[in-house]
Amino acid sequence: MTEFVRKRVANAKNDILSGLTVALALVPEAVAFAFVAGVDPLVGLYAAFMIGLITSVFGGRPGMISGATGALAVVMVHLVAEGNAMGAEGEELGLYYLFATVILMGIIQMLAGVLKLGKFVRLIPHPVMMGFVNGLAIVIFLSQLAMFKEFVDGDKVWMQGGDLFLMLGLVLLTMGIMWGLPKIKATAKLPEALIGIIVVSAIVILGNLDVATVGSFIRDGGGEGLKGGLPQFQFDIFNKVPMTWETLKFIGPYAVILAAIGLIESLMTLNLIDELTETRGNSNRECLAQGGANIVTGLFGGMGGCAMIGQSIINIKGGGRTRLSGIVAAITLLMFILFASGLIEQVPIAALVGVMFMVVIGTFAWSSFRILNKIPLTDAIVLIAVSSLTVFFDLAVAVIAGVIMSALAFSWESAKRIRARKHVREDGTKVYEIWGPLFFGSIQAFNNKFDVNNDPDQVEIDFMESRVSDHSALEAIWALVGKYEEAGKKVKVKHLSEECQALMIKASPRLASVIEHNVDDPRYHVMAKVMK
């Protein structure tokens, strides 16, 4: 117990400093995603605070950061727009429909946790994971390019001339500090991202440089600044959103999509952090925490959210390992909103862009270029496809498509592994020893192994080295036995698992005479126990 406490206390400094860095990086992200969704910046900031705090305390992955995310915001924008069209001008019904949808989204996510569906993230193949990481790194990079635009006569255009070079210089300075600081022995333990933000902010403020800041970013987007109070319970949800079947039909599909995207992104980020820290998170607990957090944030005026891979990696790279880092980040963000809005609004966007560019470099799986020509072609195709789909569509579509592609490729390869060793005994019985998995994909190859017309009157099919995997395989065996019987030949089936025997006899009691039950073979009894 003493050792446990000592380790936690020893890392407290890293957790606190890393949490402060994450809080600074959360501000522009939450504000930007709120603008994407078409809601007030405070709606995004409140979501980042509430979701970040709740998941840090109750989540299944210490050190992982959650908040408002772009993957959810791009879905929410359509919901908000449709909701606004349902009410009078200025009524902002879309916002309240958003809150109701986020609450339903949270309920769905909690159900996933109760039903222990989080474990299915383990079925995601490594090429899909690498594709997800690469695609997300590209998405983060592309989202930062928008920061290189400025308003000119009401239109947003790319920076040019001195403004562009100044922006690039500050970004590169931030990246240089983050790259060089850990290489200096005396400063190796300092949080490089936080130091980079502080140094660049000081240069801008003391040098009175005319560059985009967090404050100008919010005002250019139509906001009035970060100043706000504590989140308030949204009683108007129940007054403005009718609790009817029509409402459920409207918000239900959005809630399901948001819940799926949120869980996939959260659980895949959890897996990534597990790999980086060489520890193990609890996926089902994370589902429950994400769901509970979204219910709370919907009730208190937040836009909902999930795990944030960029901020999570900033936290891990900064030394954040325990729940304290996420708690500090969430509470610091609230303090910014309540008391330090003036200071945080002076932070230059260039510093935050530099931090995110370093996150992109750290997130992208550069080893994928080296291994592309060394891994199976199907895995390479899956990796590239998932990366592309993440960029052009969204995370949920990319991951689901990647898993399906991997499953089909695995089925195809497994289907080619079915073998049949044939020999004839002294008594004239022809024996087929089946090797490999028998399932829907290998049935055709399995059937091609047999020569019903030319086989002798006595045939034995031995499944000792095979595994009957699904109902299609059972049907194939049943049909094969039927062909032999129609040809007037006797067939025996040996070494089927007890489960398979029971299913076949249940489907057709006459097969009981075909299946050999009492097998005098110690290997079979060992295999039967293993399969159980």
Buried b (16+ CB within 10 A) or exposed e, 368-384: beeeeeeeeebbbbbbb
Question: How many CB atoms lie under 10 A from the CB of residue 298?
Answer: 25
Q: What pLDDT does 251 receive?
A: 92
Residue with tokens 């009817």: 244
CB 435 within 8 A of CB 419: yes
Q: Which residues on adjacent β-strands are paired with residue 459?
A: 430, 491
Distance CA 109, CA 156 (A): 38
SS3 242: coil
CB 157 within 8 A of CB 411: no
Question: Residue 247 corresponds to which tokens in the numbers above?
Answer: 């409402």
Nearest to 459 by CA among 447, 467, 471, 451: 451
Distance CA 10, CA 319 (A): 11
- As separate numbers, helices (DSSP H) first and strands (DSSP E) second, the chain gives 23, 8
Q: What pLDDT does 6 receive?
A: 54
Which bin fits 488, alpha (ψ -120 to 50), beta or left (φ > 0)?
left
CB 59 within 8 A of CB 291: no
Contacts from 446-450 at CB under 8 Å and sequence distance 24+? 446/418, 446/420, 446/476, 447/476, 447/480, 449/418, 449/419, 449/420, 449/422, 450/420, 450/480
Element (H, E) at 461: strand 458-468
Question: How is residue 407 annotated by DSSP?
Answer: H
Distance CA 235, CA 248 (A): 19
Question: Residue 353 corresponds to which tokens in the numbers above?
Answer: 């862009």
Distance CA 378, CA 382 (A): 6
What does pLDDT average to in each consecutive run of 10 residues of the chain (532 residues)? 51 87 80 74 89 94 88 81 80 87 95 86 79 81 82 79 91 90 72 81 90 79 70 86 89 89 86 85 92 95 88 86 92 87 81 82 83 86 89 77 88 84 89 89 90 90 84 86 89 82 76 71 45 44
How far, in whole angstroms, is CA 16 from its chain's centroid? 26
Vertex 344 angle, CA 338 and 349, to 5°: 145
Element (H, E) at 388: helix 377-392
Sequence-separated (6 or more) residues with CB below 8 Å from residue 261 = 71, 72, 75, 306, 394, 395, 396
CB 444 within 8 A of CB 413: no
Q: Which phi and psi angles does 133 have, rounded to 5°? A: -60, -45
What single letter denotes the amino acid at residue 472?
S
Query: Against a cut of 0.85, is the pTM above it?
Result: no
Element (H, E) at 196: helix 192-206
How many CA atoms within 13 Å lie on the side-chain side of 136?
30
CB 325 within 8 A of CB 12: no
CB 309 within 8 A of CB 360: no
Q: Domain 417-531's class?
A: alpha beta
Domain assignments of the chain as residue spans, ordered by start: 10-145+153-406, 417-531
